[in-house]
């Protein structure tokens, strides 16, 4: 059995991970998706996000995951990784070292790699963050070869507030901020519950929808060499050629 470990900040939408595990375990070859939490200020502001994704905090998370003996580790936080810009690669390398050398990544890199896997070049972004933080995500995507044709920022100050959004509110955020020229819609916040909404959103929008917890799980499985098609986790998970 393959085990993927996720370091998740505070508490908000971590129940997306056991949901993904249940969907993945409908196949014969089960996987474990284990989540350990680190804690800090959940404010969507640059200084707080830099602290949240610091080497010390991620090393703490890696230590908590060690008992699970993960085959790969992912920092399950979009804003706490893209805020580092070019330093996000060093952040992931440091996490790998802290986790004993297993492959490691973050949600921000997961978005770039998922977009590449699907051949997406032009996307819309429906962000929950304040505008200045959302623009850093746009910059990160651009550095990874993904053009953002439209970006919205809902201006929600904390992850806890995002975690309290209803399914209807999440769907409305997505619907309202798609763009006809976009190949896909990206929804970047692991504090937002989205996995159960992916099929509905993709049918309504007629295009792939990539969400933070979805791409984070995908990235962890990719690193562990355990990608497999799953019908209920969006276009990203439906192809054998991942």
Q: What per-residue confidence (pLDDT) applies to 29?
A: 67
Distance CA 22, CA 19 (A): 5
For domain 118-211, say whether CATH 3.30.70.270 is its number: no
Q: Which residue ranges of the chain lie beneath pLDDT 50?
A: 240-242
Instruction: Please report where in the chains the tokens 């409908």 appear, as a residue.
Output: 26
Q: What per-residue confidence (pLDDT) applies to 78?
A: 97
DSSP H/E element including 122: strand 122-127
Kindly report, residue by residue over 63-85, the tens digit of the pLDDT. Answer: 999 999 999 999 999 999 999 99
Q: What per-residue confidence (pLDDT) applies to 241?
A: 46
Give this prediction's pTM. 0.96
∠ Cα 121 188 25 (to 5°) = 95
Q: Where are the domains of the chain?
A: 2-109+214-237, 118-211
Looking at domain 2-109+214-237, which CATH architecture does it have? 3-Layer(aba) Sandwich (3.40)
Distance CA 29, CA 27 (A): 6
Q: What per-residue confidence (pLDDT) applies to 126?
A: 96
Burial tier of 41 (Cβ tally within 10 Å: 0-12, 13-18, 19+): middle
């Amino acid at each position: 059995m393959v085990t993927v470990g996720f370091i998740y900040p505070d508490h908000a939408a971590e129940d997306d991970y056991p949901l993904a595990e249940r969907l993945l375990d409908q196949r014969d070859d089960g996987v474990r998706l284990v989540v350990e939490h680190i804690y800090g200020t959940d404010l969507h502001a640059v200084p707080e996000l830099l602290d949240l994704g610091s080497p010390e905090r991620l090393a703490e998370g890696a230590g908590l995951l060690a008992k699970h003996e993960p085959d790969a580790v992912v920092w399950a936080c979009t804003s706490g990784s893209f805020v580092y810009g070019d330093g996000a690669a060093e952040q992931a390398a440091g996490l790998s070292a802290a986790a004993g050398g297993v492959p490691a990544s973050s949600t921000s890199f997961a978005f770039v790699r998922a977009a590449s896997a699907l051949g997406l070049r032009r996307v819309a972004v429906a962000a929950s963050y304040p505008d200045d933080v959302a623009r850093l995500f746009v910059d990160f995507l651009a550095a990874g070869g993904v053009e953002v044709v439209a970006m919205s920022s809902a201006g929600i100050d904390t992850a806890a507030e995002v975690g309290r959004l209803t399914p209807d509110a999440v769907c409305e955020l997505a619907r309202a901020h798609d763009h006809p020229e976009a190949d896909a819609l990206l929804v970047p916040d692991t504090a937002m519950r989205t996995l159960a909404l992916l099929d509905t959103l993709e049918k309504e929008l007629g295009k792939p929808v990539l969400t933070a917890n979805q791409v984070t799980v995908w990235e962890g499985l990719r690193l562990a060499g355990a990608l497999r098609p799953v019908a209920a986790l969006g276009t990203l998970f439906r192809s054998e050629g991942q």
